[in-house]
Amino acid sequence: MANKPQQPSHPHLAECTATQFLDIWKHFDADGNGFIEGKELESIFKELQGPGVEKMKDFMQKFDKNKDGRIEMSELAQILPTEEHFLLSFRQFVGSCAEFMAAWRRYDADRSGFIDANELQGFLSDLLKKLSMFDLNGDGRLGLSEMARLLPPEENFLLKFQGVKMTVEQFNGIFTFYDKDGNGYIDEKELDALLRDLYQKNNKDVDQASLQGYKECIMALSDGGKLYRSELEVVLCREPMV
């Protein structure tokens, strides 16, 4: 009896290297148009799903960030580990040996054989301009929630605030309530009360250890323990969660 052709083996996406991810992408993007759509979408869902994985609708909600009914590389790549995500982005920026050598020549301006601090600044600046994988809303800027995706998921505290975002008007009312003396900032104790009330209002449970971690992350934005309105606004309402 003839052996059945084996299906390609794909590692869990969250454990992929940049090279493996590109191989998987090329396998499913059969027509090479830069999107996974139609029959390709059905194929990737069938092959990558495992026991207990979300249904097709949930899969699309998770990855189809711009809601166009198809998956782009930048959307699917968000699940990659931080280092591999960056490597994938770099390979989109410098995709061949010739491009790599041209980039080296361009940024090693003094021909020293090294890219020093000043030259590296230019390289990173140009690279970030190309990293549409991080600029998910396509505005040419990296917002807090977009840049936070560089963090490992377990360290991305902004993900913990999904579902508790608010409008600027709601935020202003809340900030004014907790800024009892009207000096334009709140301290760590006041932030503790604000976060507790915010989570209770949204029927979300948070343990003390997690709450302390969130406070430390947010207070890192503060100026000597003074968390001003604009700084807290960035976390709670200005930046769209992605």
Q: Compute the average pLDDT of residues 112-120.
A: 87
**Is the domain of 61 the same as that of 108?**
no
**Is the domain of 223 the same as that of 180?**
yes
Give the span between the Cα atoms of 235 and 165, in whole angstroms.
9
**Is the domain of 130 the same as that of 167?**
no
**Is the domain of 41 the same as that of 99?**
no
**Is the domain of 21 the same as that of 55?**
yes
Structural domain includes residue 29: yes
Give the model's pLDDT for residue 59: 76
Which of the residue ranges 76-85, 95-104, 160-169, 200-209 would you say has the lowest mean pLDDT? 160-169
Q: Does pLDDT of 152 surpass 70?
A: no
Structural domain includes residue 186: yes
**Is the domain of 161 the same as that of 213?**
yes
Between residues 46 and 110, the one the model is more confident about: 110
Give the model's pLDDT for residue 185: 92
Structural domain includes residue 86: no
Q: Does pLDDT of 158 surpass 60?
A: yes
CATH code, domain carrying 177: 1.10.238.10
Structural domain includes residue 162: yes
> Taking the model in full, what pTM does it have?
0.47
Range(s) of the domain holding residue 194: 157-238
**Is the domain of 222 the same as that of 162?**
yes
Q: Compute the average pLDDT of residues 63-68.
A: 80
Give the model's pLDDT for residue 72: 83
Between residues 48 and 29, the one the model is more confident about: 29
Between residues 64 and 93, the one the model is more confident about: 64
Counted domains in the chain: 3
Angle formed by the axes of helices 188-201 and 168-178, nearest 10°: 130
Give the model's pLDDT for residue 186: 92
**Is the domain of 226 the same as that of 172?**
yes
What percent of the chain has a predicted confidence (pLDDT) above 90?
Answer: 2
Question: Are the CB atoms for 23 and 9 separated by under 8 Å?
Answer: no
Q: Compute the average pLDDT of residues 140-149.
A: 70
Give the span between the Cα atoms of 79 and 133, in whole angstroms.
11
User: pLDDT confidence of 53, banded at 50, 70, 90?
Assistant: very low
Between residues 211 and 108, the one the model is more confident about: 108
DSSP-based three-state secondary structure for 35: strand
Q: Compute the average pLDDT of residues 107-119.
A: 87
**Is the domain of 133 the same as that of 161?**
no
Structural domain includes residue 7: no
Give the span between the Cα atoms of 15 and 50, in whole angstroms.
14
Between residues 60 and 29, the one the model is more confident about: 29
Structural domain includes residue 172: yes
Give the model's pLDDT for residue 200: 77
DSSP-based three-state secondary structure for 107: helix
Q: Compute the average pLDDT of residues 25-35.
A: 85
Strand partners, 40: none
Rounded mean pLDDT of the chain? Answer: 75
Structural domain includes residue 147: no
Structural domain includes residue 151: no
Q: Compute the average pLDDT of residues 39-67.
A: 71
